[in-house]
Amino acid sequence: MVVAAGGGPLTYTIRIVNSGALSATNATMTDVLPPEFLPNLDAITASSGSVVTNTSPTISWNGVVTNGATIVITIPGSIDPAVCGVTIVNSATIADPLAATYVATAQTTVYGPITTWSESFDAATFPPTGWATAVVTSAATAPAWARSTATVHPAGFAPFSGAGLAYFNSYSAQTGSANRLSSPAIALTTNTDPAVLFYMYHDTGFSSAADRLQVQVSTDGLSWTDVGAPIYRYDGSIGWKAHGVSLKAYEGQSVQLGFLGISGFGNDVHLDHISVRTCCEPPAGVSFAFDPASPLSNQPVDFTATVLTGTAPFTYTWDFGDGSPIGNGNPISHSYTLAGTYDVTLTVECKCGTASVTQQVTVTDAPTPPDLDTLQSSSPTALGNATYFTGTLLSGSAPITYTWDFGDGTVIEAGLTINHTYTQTGQYTVTLTAANSAGTDVVTTTVEVGVAPVASFTSDSPAVWPDRTIDFTFTGSDATSYLWDFGDGITSTAQSPTHTYPLLTFTKVYTVNLTVSNPFGSDAASDQVIVVNDYPVFSGVKSGPPAAINQGTPLTYTIRVTNTGTLSAANASLVDTFPI
């Protein structure tokens, strides 16, 4: 039996030997290739005759085989990579009208690509740790296993690999003597279609000696069961050759392997590079990463799984821990609607097992963009005075930066309240920009900077009786409204008013106040005015005769007029009406 790896090369060689006395003039060969074998049709050769390949998977040959001749047909190819843990059987039928039909069969055990256990006898200690030897039958020279750095009988050939090999002394042990080299326990619990693969050295010495190796299995270390057919040292070839035995019957168990050397009193049996192969290995070393590492709510999170070992293909299922449907695939993206800490579980599965891993993902609330209310200012402002600004944030996640553009080339970062002094009059558009990681908001307002008014005035004071009217003249600037307080309880909003003060009997000084304003400010001025009330003031006494007088008696009236004023009465007059 031949062993080969799934996906590896395999070549079938068919030898047609005519050992009869007559030639086979119409010989044919028909080989229906097994489906697990993928032939290289262009590379098929025959040492004589014709090969027909256009009916693949059937390969046909026809030709003449003279007596004593050998025809060699070679069919190279490879094993389907999906095939593992099976034995491929290929049969070729050879026929001729003058001879009986002959069927040749070849078997190939396909072992798995994954090594789950191995031993190459490289360490100097023998048997290796956990291994043992046991004499099963003995005659004369005791049968034994030992380690060597080269073959012993025949001598001098290097190990298949590494620094050492194991050999059974069938060269010195009598025919029928047997010794078992047994391995430590090997777990096949996670293996699919396991097989044991090993290399045995073949030589052409002592061709009639039945030196051989029998693979055995024990599940308890006490009783041993043969698996597969014995493998003979002499098979006509020279060199190391791979051999394998299926362990599928022991899948899921813990076993010990036994290599029973049986002497035919020929050359030694040499053994090297033993390995347990499996067609499938469950996933292991499963992990996953996610990006970003600190996700926000409603932000896509990318998850990527990693499997260190295992047999593909894999399926990936994700439980994101938030009650959402199970996700499938790798990589995969998921968004969380709410902030919180979530247990995310990844399960990786292949045809021979599963593995899971859980990590926590902490999600924080996504920032909200800033939202500004209307921008307030103290505009209009007089040139030279500061204009005060106030911004109001309605909502938004910190941190937030605020940038002010005052419209005159000045741009600064500050808080929500600020003041700025303009150097020229005019209208300016002021912009406040609030920004955070979620966005920006912009509000604007228009401010006006102008010249404040100046209050001043003149008057034609004093007013001298009998004239009590005073003219006031505004001599300031840039005013748009006026308020005069004349000091006597009377006001005016005229620019340059005239005012008549009340008549008094004395001179009075009045304080006059002027307040002026415009959109950019106000100003006030005051002055005193005098109203002179000097004029004659008369008082008089009239006296006459007694209340009763005789008729004809002369009467005399006396009138006295007194001026108590501050001025003389230069044109005074008196009118007296006498009784009739």
- CA 554, chain centre distance (Å): 139
Question: For the chain, what's the residue count?
Answer: 580
∠ CA 206-207-213, rounded to 5° = 90
Mean pLDDT along residues 182-187: 96
Cβ-proximal residues to 334 (8 Å cutoff; 6+ apart), any chain: 300, 301, 303, 318, 320, 324, 327
CB of 197 closer than 8 Å to CB of 215: no
Q: Report strand pairing: 165-168 vs 315-319.
A: unpaired
Q: Which domains does the chain have, with CATH numbers?
A: 2-111 (2.60.40.740), 114-278 (2.60.120.200), 284-363 (2.60.40.10), 371-450 (2.60.40.10)
CB of 19 closer than 8 Å to CB of 261: no
Cβ-proximal residues to 451 (8 Å cutoff; 6+ apart), any chain: 382, 383, 425, 478, 518, 520
Instruction: Answer with the residue of higher pLDDT: 56 or 215.
Output: 215
Phi, then psi, of 502 in degrees rounded to 5: -70, 155
pLDDT band at 209 (very low <50, low <70, confident <90, very high): very high
CB of 165 closer than 8 Å to CB of 268: no
- In this prediction, residue 99 carries a pLDDT of 83
- In this prediction, residue 534 carries a pLDDT of 59
- In this prediction, residue 566 carries a pLDDT of 56
pLDDT band at 408 (very low <50, low <70, confident <90, very high): very high
Cβ-proximal residues to 55 (8 Å cutoff; 6+ apart), any chain: none
d(C-alpha 441, C-alpha 370), whole Å: 6
- Across all residues in the chain, what is the average pLDDT? 90
Would you state the structure tokens that stand for residue 261, as one six-digit string? Answer: 């050397």
Q: Report strand pairing: 2-5 vs 99-111.
A: parallel
Instruction: Answer with the residue of higher pLDDT: 505 or 50.
Output: 50
d(C-alpha 42, C-alpha 74), whole Å: 11
**Amino acid, single-letter form, for residue 140:** A
Count CB-CB contacts under 10 A for residue 429: 12
d(C-alpha 367, C-alpha 260), whole Å: 74
What's this model's pTM, rounded to 2 decimal places? 0.49
Would you state the structure tokens that stand for residue 404, as one six-digit string? Answer: 């002010």
CB of 342 closer than 8 Å to CB of 402: no
pLDDT of 544 over the 70 cut: no
Count Cβ atoms within 10 A of the Cβ of residue 580 and give its class: 0-12 exposed, 13-18 middle, 19 or more buried: exposed
Would you state the structure tokens that stand for residue 75, as one six-digit string? Answer: 């069919």
For 241-295, write each residue's pLDDT tens digit: 988 888 889 988 999 999 999 999 999 999 999 999 887 778 899 999 999 999 9
pLDDT of 538 over the 60 cut: no
3-state helix, strand, coil in the chain (%, to 5): 0, 55, 45
For residue 345, what are the β-bridge partners?
Answer: 319, 358
Query: Among 125-134, 194-203, 412-421, 568-577, where is mean pLDDT lowest?
Result: 568-577
If you compute the radius of gyration of the chain from its CA atoms, what whole number of angstroms results? 63
**Amino acid, single-letter form, for residue 184:** P
Cβ-proximal residues to 54 (8 Å cutoff; 6+ apart), any chain: none
pLDDT above 90 coverage of the chain, percent: 72
pLDDT of 189 over the 70 cut: yes
Mean pLDDT along residues 106-124: 87
